[in-house]
Amino acid sequence: MEPLHTLELDGSRPLSAAAVRTVAALCDRTEDRAGHGIVVVHVTGAPDREGTRGLDVSLVTKWERALRRLERLPAPTVAVARGDCGGTALDAFLTADLRVATPGTRLLVPRDTTATWPGMAAYRLVRLAGVARARRAVLFGRPIEAAEAHALGIVDDIAEDPAAAVAAAAALTGGLAGQEVAIRRQLVFDAATTSFEDALGAHLAACDRTLRQGAASEAAAS
């Protein structure tokens, strides 16, 4: 199964309106063709200590909204990281359903001379690895090496050959409907913060949807 779309992001480049448009355009194309297939995001590069110079909160807000769309696409998403990854590269990497890193990868929360960048990458790192294990990266900008990221669950696979890893991801998701993946993804997200009683309705609704689709398929085949 071929990917629906491929995106490349260089985290060494400052956040820009063009980066927002690039991610938004990918989301537009994927949403227009919701169904089978995967989205692959290749990331590398990390900003220097002046990487936030010239930014304003309006642009950052647009970027975070674009990332949230990427995170909720009606298609499985795979991110492949190589080398040092920070800034926009880290942001996009953490939104993916499956995250692959090459052996030399390091994940870096950007920092200047006074503090680390407080964007939503920090939130996603904590959600993935837990408070205690993400603290040093989020507070002090300590690099997370590929092996450590794998042990913490931030990275799903370390691969010498990213293309083979993407092919394996395509095989794993083969035959899955993109919109159904999006529904299960949301159930997973909600499980971390929702009580059993509050979650039950959403899960039952998803079960009912699946049963209705199965019945419709059987009726169409008969």
What pLDDT sits at residue 35?
66
- Band the pLDDT of 62: cuts 50, 70, 90: very high
Name the residue among 24, 27, 171, 184 with its Cα closest to residue 5: 27
pLDDT exceeds cutoff 60 at 2:
no
Bridge partners (DSSP) of residue 203 are none
Q: Which residue has the higher pLDDT, 174 or 10?
A: 10
- pTM (2 decimals)? 0.91
- Band the pLDDT of 94: cuts 50, 70, 90: very high
pLDDT exceeds cutoff 90 at 49:
no
pLDDT exceeds cutoff 90 at 5:
no
What pLDDT sits at residue 3?
64
| Separation of alpha carbons 89 and 12, rounded Å | 8
